[in-house]
A and B are shown apart, each in its own frame.
Chain A
Amino acid sequence: MSGPRDDDAPSLEQRESRSGKLAGDRYVRIVRPKEFRRESGHFVATEDAIAPTDDAGRFWRRVRRTLLGRPISSESEVSERVSKKTGLAILASDNISSSAYATEEAMRVLALAGSAALALTMPIALGVVAVLAIVVLSESRVIRAYPNGGGSYIVARENLGTLAGLAAAAALLIDYVLTVAVSSAAGIAALSSFVPWLHDHRALAAISLVGLLMIGNLRGVREAGLLFALPTYAYVGSLGLLITVGLARVLSGDVPVAPSPPVPFEDHGTMALTTLLVLRAFASGSVGLTGSEAVANGVPNFKPPEPRNAVITLLLMGGLFSTIFLGITYLATTIGVQPDHGELETVNSMLTRAVFGPGTPLYYLVQITTAVILLLAANTGFTGFPRLASILANDRFMPRQFAIRGDRLAFSFGIVVLAVTAAVVLWAFRGSVTALIPLYTLGVFVAFTLSQSGLVRRWWRLRNRGWRLSILINAIGAAVTGTVLVVVAVTKFEGGAWMVLVVMPLIVSLLLRIHRHYRSVADALVLTDLSRELPELGPPVVVVPIARLDRAAVRAMAFARSISPHVRAVHISYDEEGAAQFRQRWDRWGGGAQVKLDVIESPFRSLRQPLLKYIERIDETDQRAITVVITEFVPRSWWEFVLHSQTALRLKAALLFRPNTIVVDVPYHFEEAARETVPAK
């Protein structure tokens, strides 16, 4: 709205001069488009600007609004942020929900050494909680150091270099995909415990669930939070009740009787109780640590003051997970619940049966809330992946589409890509939790270790107030998570962790290649000298391919003549007779003398190739950019397109990658043709 004015140039605002009742009472009515409003020296597009104009567009908008809701403007971003209560539900549901299966995962490994080895479950659980405490403490330092939402990628990149940052990013991207896949598969597994027919269709059911979560997340962060708040708190409440009643019964001497698992493990075990087996059990139990990085990554999702709210949420998450995990582990080991070898019933289910009795309403309450939170825990992936991908896209390591917010301010592209990738993984692993688990947790520990090490370097470099304590916390964090990383990688390598170790470097190399591409494009396009004026260009050489001498062709040639006096029309004919007929008609046409015509006979009935060769030869004779003006007839409805050969479209596609070529499309709409046919009254 500043700069040189051109009075003839069309404007968004029209000014109508009106006469008043009295002479001299003239006034000007400023007719403003409803699609744009003025703000701070520029125009802002309103919701009307994105309204579709055709029936198909309107139908699609209705579908989108029904599924996703009304578009939200960027100004409303702050009102879309979440409180601590909602944040805990959205960002911590993955971590809290893993308390439902972490105990069982550790027990399943220990049970290989016989039932006596299950006594080690509680010490292992305490070890996992100790690691979680260190992780929570270290992550709270990450939040303080990077209040704008650091996450492992930014922390590692800023302090350890780009490669370390990308390694952390790749690890997290993989882990988010696996979070979605594992959680949805685990949720379906929990459901199939009391809906057995679901077991045969678990991959499809899990993929359908991922689809539902995708839609929920496309509706926006806040609405997703509202969707997930109730199940999270219902799970915490019901598990709290289970642990309280269980502890009360144990302490009062009324110890519940553990039910036998449908397919028990061998009582004396099939493996020796070695250090490696204990470490494997610890690695399996540490699945409970997954999801704890989501809060630090999602700091910008919180209402102000973001860092404080995020730290409180992180502490609440750690506290809730530890309480439930230790409570379940204590009760399961005290009562003597054993894991089921056939995976038909979960430890959690057997424990609940023992405490509340089989088939009681409270049993179903615990099982249903567990199933629902496991189903929804996948949401952490939907919160983390799109945000991380958007950060990577802004840094030009991922395609730009990942950085674009959709109608509801969510990173729609990232959400859809995550859902599709998770669906592919679920399909490939047939929706089996057991098959997916070995791939899980490795990525998160790579990210933890890199971010903790990065923070150690940061505190050492800055040495600001309290740096000694911070460096101590993060150094312990790096050492502990690094150790767990090695343990997980070694013990789960054969089970599938190798796949993650192979894919991770591939992703890093892909991210680097994408970055290299963006950098080369930016280098090629950058304006090095802003003081230089617009370059003067002479009129271009214009070629107008013409199939028939009709209104559309005449309009295209008239346009071509308006931009340059050097216009050549070219007609491709399949035979000599057609060429002669076209030439005759051209000579009869009044405008024929103003435009040079070349007629090419193509005995091999190829249209595109001779035309492209012709353009090539013309281009060789002149240094200026060649402009090809293509005339295109646009039918009224989409289905009428199939009745036309779409030569213009194919020609445009062929010329798109041709250097030094400008392609101008002159459309001729059916409505215009019909209007010009009707004689004026």
Chain B
Amino acid sequence: MKNILIGLAGTAVDPDVVRMVASFAKAEKARIVGVHVIEVRWNLALDAVLEKELEAGEHLLSAAEAIARSEGITLETEILQAREAAAALVDEARSRSYDLIVVGMPYRRRLGRVYVGRTVSGVFERAPCAVLAYRQEAPA
């Protein structure tokens, strides 16, 4: 696994995902890229300048970079704008030949079941490479 893409959505699970990737990617000296996807509403142009969202994205990527630094790895970062995060992550992984996509799932329940979310399930279904999903542990 030399090229790893981490999907970062700014949820509580992001730090755990970065630490987990660091634990196995450090020895491999893998290139790790944290990608945040801004989902653009249909009533806006795809390349619209969404300053608030961009700033929030920058902020969460900076936080992830800091965690990566403390774990002794370098995290490159990227921001994408798309209608759907899962499709953008998969297409980005394909165009840049990533070996692994890592996504995090905050622990959520809906209708009595653990809710996986459309981004995680979308990546699972369509990714051309290996996918690793990290689910936050259930609250005690």
Chain A residues within CB distance 8 Å of chain B:
1, 13, 15, 17-22, 25-30, 32, 37-41
Contacts and interface: CB of A to CB of B under 8 A. Distances in A.
Nearest to A26: B46
B114 interface: no
Contact of A28 (B58, B81, B94, B126): B81
A39 B63 CA distance: 13
Contact of A21 (B54, B58, B91): B91
A19 B94 CA distance: 11
A28 B51 contact: no
Contacts of A37: 58, 62
Interface string B57-96: 0110010000000000000001111111001101110110
Nearest to B81: A28
Contacts of B82: 25-28
Given A1-B51, A37-B62, A39-B55, A30 B81 contact: yes
Contacts of B95: 18
Contact of A27 (B59, B92, B126): B92
B47 interface: yes
Given A18-B91, A21-B91, A25-B87, A30 B55 contact: no
Contact of B91 (A1, A20, A41): A20
Given A30-B54, A32-B79, A25 B91 contact: yes
Nearest to A20: B91
Contacts of A18: 91-92, 95
B47 A21 contact: no
B78 A21 contact: no
Contact of B46 (A13, A21, A28): A28
Interface in B5-61: 37, 46-47, 51, 54-55, 58-59
Interface string B98-115: 000000000000000000
B55 A28 contact: no
B79 A40 contact: no
A565 B82 CA distance: 47
A39 B56 CA distance: 9
16 contacts: A18-B91, A20-B87, A21-B94, A27-B37, A27-B80, A27-B82, A28-B80, A28-B81, A28-B82, A30-B78, A30-B79, A32-B58, A37-B58, A37-B62, A39-B58, A41-B55
A30 B80 contact: yes
B46 A41 contact: no
Contacts of A30: 54, 78-81
B92 A41 contact: no
B59 to A, nearest CB: 7
Contacts of B87: 20, 22, 25, 27
Interface residues of B, number: 24
Instruction: Tell me which of A27, A39, A40 has the highest count of chain B C-beta atoms within 10 A of its own C-beta.
Output: A27
A20 B79 contact: no
Contacts of A40: 55
A37 B92 CA distance: 22
B50 to A, nearest CB: 10
B81 to A, nearest CB: 4
Contacts of A41: 51, 55
A15 B92 contact: no
A25 B37 CA distance: 13
Q: Which of B55, B59, B94 has the most CB of A within 10 A?
A: B55
B10 to A, nearest CB: 14
A15 B38 CA distance: 13
A17 B126 CA distance: 21
B47 A17 contact: yes
A39 B55 CA distance: 6
A1 B46 CA distance: 19
B44 to A, nearest CB: 11
Nearest to A25: B87
Contacts of B51: 1, 38, 41
Given A1-B51, A17-B47, A27-B82, A38 B58 contact: yes
A32 B81 CA distance: 13
A38 B81 CA distance: 16
Given A27-B87, A30-B79, A38-B54, 9 more contacts: A20-B90, A20-B91, A21-B91, A25-B82, A27-B92, A30-B78, A32-B58, A38-B58, A39-B58
**Shortest Cβ-Cβ A-B pairs, 4 listed:** A27-B82, A20-B91, A28-B81, A27-B88
Contacts of B78: 29-30
